[in-house]
Structures are given as structure tokens and as C-alpha cells.
Amino acid sequence: MKIEIRNNGITDVTVLVADKGKVIRRIESEEIIGVEFWLGKSYYINGVLQDPPHDDIPSDFEEIDATPDWANPEPDYDPELTDKQALNIILNGE
């Protein structure tokens, strides 16, 4: 897992980036985060309100092998669909 510093347009943010074929998981809740996570404040962890909010740090997370679903995600949209076709579907249900 790589740790990068990126600017979100306002401030620098620490970003965790999983290696190829891996995903990031929050250790405490075992929640799969995905292939990238921008550290910040977590208001809920495992469905439990954090009061005060938890300041995420890299050691809160681990990198695990991705399942086939995570390693090769199927797009949830038709990449060949044009904007005009998508608008037609939205407006006319076609």
C-alpha cells in the first residue's frame, strides 16, 4: 500500500492507495474500503457514531488480496452509451 499526499483544492490530504490486486480494509470494522481511501474524519465506524469523530490514520487500515469482484469490477453502466441515449432513457424510459 502506498501513502500519497494529494491536494483536494483546499488542503493537502493523505491518501492510501492499494497495490494492484489488493484492496484497503479498515481493521476495526473489517469494512472493505476499496482501492483508494482519502484519510479524514470518520463519523461512523461499523455503524457506531464516533463522538468525537475519529481522525483516520494509516495504521487504522490494512491491505488485503482483492476478490475477483474487486480486482475486475464490472462497470455499472454501458460505456458505449452516449449522453444523448442516456438522456432519452431517463426522460422516456427507453
89's grid cell: 432513457
Instruction: Give the pLDDT mean for 11-31.
Output: 93
In three-state secondary structure terms, 26 is strand
Write the pLDDT tens digit of every residue in 22-75.
Answer: 999 999 999 998 899 999 999 999 889 999 999 999 999 999 998 876 655 555
pTM for this entry: 0.67
∠ CA 23-30-16, nearest 5°, is 40
